[in-house]
Each structure stands twice: as C-alpha cells, then as structure tokens.
C-alpha cells in the first residue's frame, strides 16, 4: 500500500518535472530562463545535501567542496580537451572519488558525527585557500590557468557530445540542467526505494541497531557520502556552464551555509524540500540583489533563524502533514506532525 502511493507520488513528480523541462522555455524569456537555469543547478546541489543529511544522517558542512571541485574539474578539462563530454564525466567522477577518500577516513576512522561536520567544514576552507593562491603562470594545468582569486573566465560551454563545434545555446543549457535535476531526483528516489536505501535510512535512525543486525554501517555511509559528492560535482559542472566562469567563491563558507539553508527551509528528510528550498532562496537572493535597502545576507540569516525556531521541520513536511489531516479519516494510522522524516522514498505515506 505504501509502496504504491510512493510510486504514484514519484510518477506525479516526474510528470511535473518533465512538464517544466519542456514548458519553461515557452513561458520565460531568455533572461528569466537563464535565471531559473542557475536555480536548478543549485537545486541539484541541494539534493546532494538533502540526500546525505536528510536520509544518510551525515552532517556535512562541506558540500560546496565537491560542488567547487566539480566546477573546477569541468573548467580545466573542457579548456584542455575542447570537447565537453569527458569534462562532464570527470566533473562527477573526481568529486565522487574525493568524497569516497574523505569518507573512508571519517567513517572507517570511527569519527563521531560532530567531527564529521568539523572535518567537512575544514576541507572546504582549505580548498578555498588553496584555489585562492593559484594566481600566476605556475598554476596552469595544460592550457587552463587556475587564476587564483580571479578564477577562470571563458570556460567553454557544454557541447553536443562529440561535436565541439556545436556548443549548447542558453535554451539547450536549460534542457541539460533541468534534465539533470529530474535524473538526479529519479536516481535518488530509486536508491531510497531499494534495499540499500532502506538500510541507509535505518542507519540514520539507529546506527548501533543496524550494526547489531549485521550491516557494515561504515560502508553504507561511505557510499552515501560518495554519491552525494558526485551529485554535488554535477551541480558544480552545471553552475560553471551557466556563467562560463568559476572562482574560489564556490568553496566559500557562504556557499556551504546557503545549501544548509535550502535544505532546512525546504524540509529535512525529503527530496522535494531541498529542491523547492533552493529555488525559493535563490529567487529571493536575486530579488534582494536588485535593491539596495537591505543586505541580502541579513535577510538570509533572519530566514534561517525564523525557520529553525518556528518551522524546524521545513516547508514540505509541514504541508504534507497538513494534507494528511485534510484527508477523509479512512486512514486511521495517519501520523500528522510527528516530525519524523519518512522512510525510503515514500513521501506521501498515508
């Protein structure tokens, strides 16, 4: 029963996603379409954070590390190779491997949850300083100067695979970005519905019990963290493509904090929440950027504080519970307002 309602909600989400994919270029003008393209790239990053934190229970303050690494990898490889296909693959692979390596030391080293937060945060700060100090000719990889604080301008855009002479137009970049979001969402729903995903959620609920049942929780957390790293890398690749530019700012604390805010506002323990959170906050930032009365970071801080105090579960769980209460009482075991994230991809459990 719960499985079928989970499948129904998944298909509904997929349909909405595909409708937006096709419909947005018809509704929006070019400027607006470019804006939603970057919102969508940030939504992919938010999904990576939402997956490892909301489902894996891993408190990473450093998803921006994998995001930036993906962006830089894309830029360096695309500038050298000309064709973007290998650059995209490496922009996903390298952050995945980096996350796996970092995860190995954290999870197999039995580091406690709080220190996982500290370590991921530190890694981001280290990468920020490293890429900040890459100014000058010494820091050139092939044809690609890293450029220090100024970053890397004129990064070649995505092209039709195998055809470097056919770069994507802004409208096509929208299709690629939104397609990536739909794909990542589908992938994560699939993972969460699988046996692997159910064990991941169980480990979040009680790691000791999972161990005592014979599950190697270190391996599961390592895999979750690596998958999250790969998704963040893909988001970084999209982000770099959007602006044709990348700089060390992607590694900044502000980026890491923004991702956390997306997830908290949208709802921890859901996949829809981080997507909506990312888009809403990004839209708000772009509105605030157009005026000079209030500082944008101040507003973000107020929003974060307000949500943590007033709506700690985030928007999506609150709406879902409200919907559950409105339904006819044929579901005697509805569990409104318990604040617990749902298991394994079942976002609308009766």
Partner 1 sequence: MTPLIQAQAATMRFGGVTAVNHVDFTLGEMELRCLIGPNGAGKSTFFKMLTGQLVPSSGAVLFRGRDITGAAPHEIARLGIGIKTQVPNVFNGLTVRENIAIAAARGKSVQQARRITEETLTRARLTGIAQRVVGQLAHGQRQWVEIATVLAQEPELVLLDEPAAGMTHEEVLRTAELIREINRSQALIVVEHDMQFIRMIARRVTVFNQGSILVEDDVEAVLANQAVRDVYLGKQAA
Q: Which is nearer to partner 1, 67 or 220 (CB)?
A: 220
Q: Which is nearer to partner 1, 138 or 212 (CB)?
A: 212
Q: How far is the CB of 207 from partner 1 (least distance, A)?
A: 9
Q: Which is nearer to partner 1, 211 or 286 (CB)?
A: 211
Look up residue 61 and give its DSSP letter: S
How far apart are the C-alpha atoms of 48 and 123, rounded to whole Å? 17
DSSP per-residue codes, 198-246: HHHHHHHH-HHHHHHTT--HHHHHHHHHHHHHHHHHHHHHHHHHHHT-B
Q: Is 343 in the site for partner 1 (CB under 8 A)?
A: yes
Q: Is 330 in the site for partner 1 (CB under 8 A)?
A: no
Q: What is the total count of residues that contact partner 1 (CB under 8 A)?
A: 25
Q: Which stretch binds partner 1 (CB under 8 A): 164-172, 245-253, 304-312, 340-348?
A: 340-348
Residues 166-195 that bind partner 1 (CB under 8 A): 195
Q: Which is nearer to partner 1, 110 or 310 (CB)?
A: 110
How far apart are the C-alpha atoms of 62 and 41, rounded to whole Å? 17
Tokens 């804006």 locate to: 35
Q: Which is nearer to partner 1, 130 or 340 (CB)?
A: 340
Q: Which residues pair with 61 in a beta bridge?
A: none
How far apart are the C-alpha atoms of 150 and 130, rounded to whole Å? 13
Residue window 197-226: x/- pattern of binding to partner 1, with contact defined by CB under 8 A: -xx-xx-xxx-xxxxxxxxxx---------
Closest CA to 41 of 274, 234, 265, 325: 234
For residues 317 and 267, the answer to whether their CB atoms sit within 8 Å is yes
Tell me the backbone φ, ψ of residue 123, rounded to 5 degrees: -60, -40
Q: Is 325 in the site for partner 1 (CB under 8 A)?
A: no
Closest CA to 88 of 170, 22, 180: 180
Q: Is 112 in the site for partner 1 (CB under 8 A)?
A: no
Q: Is 341 in the site for partner 1 (CB under 8 A)?
A: yes
For residues 256 and 127, the answer to whether their CB atoms sit within 8 Å is no
Q: How far is the CB of 97 from partner 1 (least distance, A)?
A: 25
Q: How far is the CB of 302 from partner 1 (least distance, A)?
A: 30
Tell me the backbone φ, ψ of residue 28, rounded to 5 degrees: -90, 150
Q: Which is nearer to partner 1, 104 or 215 (CB)?
A: 215
Tell me the backbone φ, ψ of residue 215, rounded to 5 degrees: -90, 135
Q: Which stretch binds partner 1 (CB under 8 A): 159-167, 180-188, 271-279, 336-344?
A: 336-344
Q: How far is the CB of 350 from partner 1 (least distance, A)?
A: 9
The residues binding partner 1 (CB under 8 A) are 195, 198-199, 201-202, 204-206, 208-217, 333, 335, 338, 340-341, 343-344
């Amino acid at each position: 029963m719960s499985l079928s309602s989970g499948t129904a909600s998944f298909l509904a989400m997929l349909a909405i996603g595909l409708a937006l994919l096709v419909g947005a270029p018809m509704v929006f003008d070019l400027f607006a379409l470019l804006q939603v393209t970057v919102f969508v790239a940030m939504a992919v990053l938010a999904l990576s954070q939402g997956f490892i934190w909301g489902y894996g229970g891993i408190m990473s303050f450093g998803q921006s590390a994998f995001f930036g690494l993906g962006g830089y990898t894309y830029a360096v490889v695309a500038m050298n190779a000309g064709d973007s296909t290998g650059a995209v693959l490496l922009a996903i692979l390298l952050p995945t491997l980096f996350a796996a390596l970092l995860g190995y030391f954290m999870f197999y080293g039995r580091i406690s949850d709080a220190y996982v937060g500290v370590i991921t945060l530190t890694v981001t700060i280290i990468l920020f300083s490293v890429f900040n100090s890459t100014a000058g000719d010494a820091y050139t990889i092939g044809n690609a100067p890293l450029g220090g604080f100024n970053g890397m301008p004129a990064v070649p855009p995505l092209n039709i695979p195998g055809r470097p002479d056919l770069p994507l137009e802004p409208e096509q970049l929208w299709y690629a970005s939104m397609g990536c979001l739909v794909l990542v969402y589908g992938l994560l729903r699939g993972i969460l519905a699988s046996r692997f995903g159910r064990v991941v959620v169980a480990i979040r609920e009680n790691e000791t019990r999972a161990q005592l049942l014979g599950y190697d929780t270190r391996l599961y957390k390592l895999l979750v963290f690596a998958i999250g790293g790969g998704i963040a890398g893909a988001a970084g690749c999209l982000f770099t493509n959007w602006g044709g530019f990348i700089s060390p700012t992607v590694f900044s604390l502000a980026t890491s904090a923004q991702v956390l805010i997306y997830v908290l506002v949208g709802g921890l323990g859901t996949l829809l929440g981080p997507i909506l959170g990312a888009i809403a906050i990004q839209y708000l930032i772009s509105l605030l950027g157009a005026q000079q009365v209030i500082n944008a970071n101040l507003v973000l801080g107020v929003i974060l504080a307000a949500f943590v105090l007033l709506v700690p579960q985030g928007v999506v769980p609150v709406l879902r519970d409200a919907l559950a209460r409105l339904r006819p009482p044929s579901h005697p075991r509805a569990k409104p307002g318990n604040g617990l994230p749902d298991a394994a991809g079942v976002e609308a459990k009766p």
